[in-house]
Structure 1
Amino acid sequence: MPLLPRRFERLKSVLNHRMADLTVLLEHVEKPHNLSAILRSCDAVGALEAHAVSFSGRPRTYNSTAQGSQKWVPLNDHPDIETAIKVLKAKGFRLYGTHLGTNARDYRDCDFTGPTAFVLGAEKWGLSDQARDLMDEALFIPMRGMVQSLNVSVATATLLFESLRQRQTAGVAPSRGEGLTTEHYQRLLLEWSYPEVAAWCREQNRPYPDLNEQGELMEELPRTVKLRC
């Protein structure tokens, strides 16, 4: 079935606001409703992807809270927290770990307009000591009640939307695709618009076809591939 123009415009509109320099790293966050809610928040603010270190042997599941957001925000797995942090730091991210340490700063006093990764720990015990030691900065969300912590998905949403607010105020929140490289933007647009064609191209180890302004494929593909669309 041809891609409807309004669907193509919707996909471009979402991609135009995606930010490759905003992400989260989850350490042993396992509960399906928390994972689902976190990915939904990532999608809502325009974070391109998320990262996770999980317990081995535990299958990952999502529930209806995700509303399908796991399709649009990839969750990249890492074997351990040290490897995950090395990967993010190599990409230029500043890592903010959430915990109540003596040197932790109020999240509202931090600058999230640059490449930012929020690192959050398991539901019961928070970040591991190893993760805390590897953070660039510790932060906390002030509490006024008897309980001194938020649910991990609520904390993630609070931090992500503060980052978006700061970027909008500073005029650096993308609106025309500038949050991604041109090559990355075009690749994702094809994968989102024609996932079956993208999968076939990867199987054949061949470049993706170009799209015109209306979202139509600019290359004649085998009939068997067209039927998948």
Structure 2
Amino acid sequence: MTPERRQRIEATACSRQMDLTVFMERVHKPHNLAAVLRTCDAVGIQQAHAVPGSHGLPALNNTSQGAQRWIDLHRHADTPDAMKALKDAGFACFAAHFSDRAVDFRAVDYTRPTALVLGTEKFGVSDEALALCDGEVIIPMIGMTQSLNVSVAAAVILYEAQRQREAAGMYAPRDPSGSPQKELIDRWIARDLARRKTPPPDKDENSP
């Protein structure tokens, strides 16, 4: 491993936002799941949560650009299980959902522990999840369409969270020898080295 690669791994791990996350409730299209995880990595989120749809979590496609290797995706049996885990961990849960009580997504304070709840592509966030959320947010729309693709909406909201947190100094590098940075760095380096050491397929003994 080059010093530059190690330095990049350490810098990334030391700016991870452990108290910002997303919960994907039965998001079933591969490109949407992949795109959300790619945005999570881009804004420094380490933990993501999901409840699989009826056919399970979709296989990730190239849209993720390998982001799944750097994100811990936790699978939950159902929505109450996922919401309880988030609540027990101290997260305020906000659903991306159009309703009378929803507020502009920029009005929320994302510097506190926050989970963004995203619903299935066709039906949105379930009533079951909404009943357990602390609030709902909308992205103002001034065109003829009334909503954005779920992965695009996630990106818009998460970059507002990143903006607020960066202004609050929450991306300042942490000590790489501290926890959980050290454990994350060690895990990433070990996995990176293992991938690079994977031997190529054996050649036929008669091949040049």
Distance 1:140 1:85, change over 3 A: same
CA deviation string 1:62-92 (max 9, x = no partner): 1111000000012110001111011011111
After TM superposition, the score normalised by the length of structure 1 is 0.81
CA RMSD of aligned residues (A): 2.1
Is contact 1:196–1:228 with CA below 8 Å preserved after alignment? Answer: no
Amino acid at match of 2:17: M
Distance 1:170 1:59, change over 3 A: closer
2:96 corresponding residue in structure 1: 98
Shift of 1:60: 2.6
2:49 corresponding residue in structure 1: 51
| Counterpart among 181, 185, 189 of residue 181 in structure 2 | 185
Task: Say whether residues 1:8 and 2:6 are aligned partners.
Answer: yes
Is contact 1:98–1:139 with CA below 8 Å preserved after alignment? Answer: yes
* Identity score, percent: 44
Q: Helix, strand or coil for the counterpart of 1:84? A: helix
2:40 corresponding residue in structure 1: 42
Is contact 2:28–2:57 with CA below 8 Å preserved after alignment? Answer: no
Shift of 1:181: 9.4
| Partners of 1:20 and 1:39 in 2: CA distance | 15
Is contact 1:104–1:139 with CA below 8 Å preserved after alignment? Answer: yes
Correspondence list, 1:14-163, <5 A? 14-163=12-161
Amino acid at match of 1:176: P
Amino acid at match of 1:155: A
Shift of 1:188: 1.0
After TM superposition, the score normalised by the length of structure 2 is 0.88
| Partners of 1:23 and 1:119 in 2: CA distance | 9
Distance 1:86 1:146, change over 3 A: same
Shift of 1:170: 2.3
Shift of 1:98: 1.3
Shift of 1:43: 0.3
CA deviation string 1:168-213 (max 9, x = no partner): 1222x222127x9922211111111112899xxxxxxxxxxxxxxx
Amino acid at match of 1:182: G
Q: Helix, strand or coil for the counterpart of 1:186? A: helix
Q: Helix, strand or coil for the counterpart of 1:117? A: strand
| Partners of 2:71 and 2:173 in 1: CA distance | 19
Is contact 2:16–2:44 with CA below 8 Å preserved after alignment? Answer: yes
Q: Helix, strand or coil for the counterpart of 1:13? A: helix
Shift of 1:107: 0.7
| Partners of 2:86 and 2:164 in 1: CA distance | 21
Is contact 1:18–1:177 with CA below 8 Å preserved after alignment? Answer: no
1:175 corresponding residue in structure 2: 172
Distance 1:82 1:181, change over 3 A: farther
CA deviation string 1:8-53 (max 9, x = no partner): 1010111121010010000010111001110000000000121001
1:205 corresponding residue in structure 2: none
Gaps of 5+ in 1: 199-226
Amino acid at match of 1:142: P
Count of residue pairs brought into register by the alignment = 197
